[in-house]
Structure 1
Amino acid sequence: MSNVALDRTSELSTRRVAGIAVLGAVAVFLLWGIVAPASTPGRILRVMFTKSALSATLRLSVPIAFAALGGIFAEKSGVINIGLEGLLIISAFTAVFATDTLAGEQAATTADIWGGLVVGVAVSVLLAAVFAVVCIEFRADQIIAGLAVWLIALGLAPFASQVIYGGPNTASVETFETITVPGLANIPFFGALFDTTPMVYLMFVATAVSWYTLTRTSFGRWVVASGENPKALDTAGVDVTRVRYTAVLISGLLAGIGGAALSLGLGQFVGNGQTMVNGKGFIAIVAYLFGNYNPVGALLSTFLFAGLDALQLRLQAAAIIAVPQSLVRTIPYVAVIVVLALFGKTRLPKAAGEHYESGDD
């Protein structure tokens, strides 16, 4: 056996042992919490399995899940879009600004809010189109172009807010109304699924539609082929460039919905620091990698990260763990590092990041 094969076997063995150790630690924690409800693990479990915790998880999942779905389409087609963070930022700002503009001096109506969402999505798609032209037409480095999208949005959205509203944060607008299903909303824990915003339901619909599109339609097969073997797709008579443009625009559309849902769910765009998006686009990348480019897997991964984020918020409020709050806030990000370390070997599409034009060898 070659040295390369031995090294790979050793690496896989190390990852397997580390993975088993992590799962074992989680199992011990759960068992401890169940056996000793008064212990710290028991109190944490009580916080985790409440209706409010699930409700927060669903709410926090929306922007990450939509961005992850968009990233899947782009990357499966062969275009690595790490500018998802920027798409979330720009759509979050424009959605609130458009809603505020449509409402005028009156309180925003439901139509105004949905109109703001549409505008936010449109601007996100426009920025994604610029990214697509730069990467596909002019063959720019996709990683650098994606970082540029993020940095442009990170500077532009707070600046526009400063010009329009006199500060990095916009004025407040009305938020989406909660949809409550009588009876079912009163179910312990799972009742949160029947007492939430329309964006949560749209997230589930988008996941199902994305899965069906990628696995059961001709376009989905073209997207996969564009990222795996663009030459073969070109030989079959399908325009690879058109497929990639479409996939990147879809990533802009989905990320736009996520960003608009984030700000309209709060009723304001917050532009301080890293803005209210605060790394959700990058977590979305980890989510779809962990989910192995499967929309359903990406959604489940999103629930993991959003659930940990919701947990740290609840732990801070309840003061259950006697550690500085700044450390408690790191829980979701530590989880991201652990996932990358243990499961970071997801196979990328073979042609991801590579430029292609009809006739290329």
Structure 2
Amino acid sequence: MSDLLSSLQIGSGRRRIAGLIAVGVAVIVVAGIVFPDSIAGILLSIVTSKSALSSTLRLSVPIAFAALGGIFAEKSGIINIGLEGHLIIAAFVAIYGTNLTGSIWLGFVAGVLASTLLAGLFAVICIEFRADQIIAGLAVWLVALGLAPFLSTVIYGSVNVDGSGSFGRFTIPVLSEIPFFGALFSATFPVYLLFIAVALSWYVLNRTSFGRWVNASGENPEALATVGVSVRRVRYVSVLLSGVLAGMGGASFSIGLSQFVGNGQTMIGGRGFIAIVAYLFGNYNPVGAFFSTTLFAGLQALQIRLQSVPGYAVPDSLIQTIPYITVIVVLAFVGRTRIPSAAGEHYDSGED
């Protein structure tokens, strides 16, 4: 009964969010059409531009990949809040690998491998040594937050380093000229890889035996073990997949910008934590997480463009808070998302 009430509350929260977004969009569209020189008109022109969609897709890459990784880990019963750390370490190693080998593809692979190794260490600590998953995840983040800038300083003499190459843009003639949606046909490799990853993740989780094992591992591991499937192995593979996917996001982000920035919270800037909000808002559905990510990334693209709009004396520091304020609002309206029943709980079986 409590689960049913929780589901109804979650659904109601999402409907409220959707309703508010729809009303807000309608108001902006009408006002923008009637008053094209107003702030609403400027917003409308920005939002409907092909460059806005292109920026949204590009900014979605690290968040969406991390969100997909978080879904696999958490649905298996392991809460990986260290996604931020995976993005950071992958971002640095990808640039280092690119500079070392002269190949962005080898650099990309190196970044993914670094994130996967970190995920493997996290899995061992949580599964074998039964550490608190939240504390272990925070440790992963803090280790990466200190290690990446430290290695950058040791190797390059600075926490910031430029890369030696970037991803090119794949453009499909004619289709890329379509207003707004043409951005879908003129994008970089990571964007297309993200589309494939979202589709494959949905298929694996919903149409394969492994996906059913992942769900069972997070909901009822005892039942999964009863049918002869190793809960420990399923969780190991799921956590490693979270490292692979988050690594793709971090490596894509730094190579795409052809630099690693280690100042402050590093160039990742909280994207791993936004990814957690994205997959919770998307209800652990890869497609839902992707669209949630585009909401946050779209707002980030919007705030970047708003900073260059003349005639409106809004402080840049205030505009930059728009995506993060949205995260708080989304959490407030959605409320508590029902996480997998066994998430965060250790499972021990003599047969595993």
TM-score by structure 2 length? 0.94
Q: Letter of the 1:221 partner, please give it.
A: R
CA distance in 1: counterparts of 2:223 and 2:327, whole angstroms: 36
Q: Distance in 2 between matches of 1:12 and 1:297?
A: 14
| Counterpart residue number, 2:237 | 246
Aligned 8 A contact 1:165 1:171 in 2: no
Asked if structure 2 preserves the Cα contact closer than 8 Å seen for 1:57 and 1:310, the reply is yes
Matched, 1:168 2:187: no
Aligned with residue 156 of structure 1, among 147, 160, 166:
147
What does 1:33-52 correspond to in 2, within 5 Å?
33-52=32-51
SS at match of 2:160: coil
Structure 1 stretch 38-47 or stretch 136-145: which is displaced more? 38-47
- Counterpart of 2:321? 330
Please state how far the C-alpha of 1:318 moved relative to its aligned partner.
Answer: 2.2
Tell me: CA distance 1:53–1:159, structure 2 relative to 1, closer, same or farther (3 Å). Answer: same
Shift of 1:185: 1.3
| Alpha-carbon displacement from aligned partner over 1:203-236 (angstroms, at most 9, x marks no partner) | 0000000000000000000000000000100111
Distance 2:113 2:300 in 1: 29
2:71 maps to what in 1?
72
Could you tell me how far apart the structure 1 residues matched to 2:335 and 2:11 are?
Answer: 14
- Report the counterpart of residue 53 of structure 1 in structure 2: 52
Shift of 1:276: 0.5
Which of the residues 258, 263, 284 maps onto 1:267? 258
2:281: which partner in 1? Answer: 290
Matched with 1:63 is 62
Using the aligned pairs only, state the percent identity. Answer: 64
Cα 1:236–1:12 shift into 2, 3 Å: closer
Q: Is the 8 A contact 2:254 2:260 kept in 1?
A: yes
State the superposition RMSD in angstroms: 2.3
Shift of 1:183: 1.2
Residue deviations 1:293-324 (CA, integer Å, cap 9, x gap): 00000000010000000000011122464311
Query: Distance in 1 between the 2:30 and 2:70 partners?
Result: 37
Which residue of 300, 303, 316 maps to 1:312? 303
2:135 pairs with 1:141: no
Residue 197 (structure 2) aligns with: 206
Structure 2 residue matching 1:317: 3-state secondary structure: coil
Give 1:68 deviation, angstroms: 0.3
Partner of 2:118: 127
How many corresponding residue pairs? 349
Q: Which runs of 5+ in 1 are unaligned?
A: 104-111
Give the drift of 1:9.
Answer: 12
**Preserved contact between residue 290 and residue 344 of structure 1 (Cα < 8 Å):** no
Q: Which amino acid aligns with 2:338?
A: R
Q: CA separation in 2, counterparts of 1:14 and 1:211?
A: 24
Give the conservation status (yes or no) of the 8 Å contact 1:136–1:355: yes
- Specify which of 292, 297, 308 is matched with residue 301 of structure 1: 292
Structure 1 residues 212 and 39: CA distance shift in structure 2, 3 A = same
Aligned to 2:85, the other structure's residue is in SS state helix
Mean alpha-carbon deviation: is it higher for 293-302 or for 23-32? Answer: 23-32
Q: Find runs of 4+ consecutive structure 1 residues off by over 4 angstroms.
A: 7-23
The residue number in structure 2 matching 1:100 is: 99
Contact 1:32 1:41 in 2 (8 A): yes
Alpha-carbon distance in 1 for matches of 2:222, 2:83: 27
Do 1:40 and 1:320's aligned partners in 2 also have CA atoms closer than 8 Å? no
Q: Does 1:179 align with 2:170?
A: yes
Query: In 2, are the aligned partners of 1:43 and 1:320 still within 8 Å (CA)?
Result: no
Change (3 A) 1:13 1:118: closer
TM-score by length of 1: 0.92
What is the identity, as a one-letter code, of the residue corresponding to 2:195? F
2:23 matches 1:24: yes
The 1:313/1:217 distance shift into structure 2, 3 A limit, reads same
Q: Which residue of 2 aligns with 1:226?
A: 217
Question: Does the Cα contact within 8 Å between 2:7 and 2:338 map onto a contact in 1?
Answer: no
Question: Does the C-alpha gap of structure 1 residues 190 and 243 become closer, same or farther in structure 2, counting only changes over 3 Å?
Answer: same
Q: 1:134 to 1:43 in 2, by over 3 A?
A: same
Q: 1:232 & 1:59 partners in 2: Cα distance? A: 41
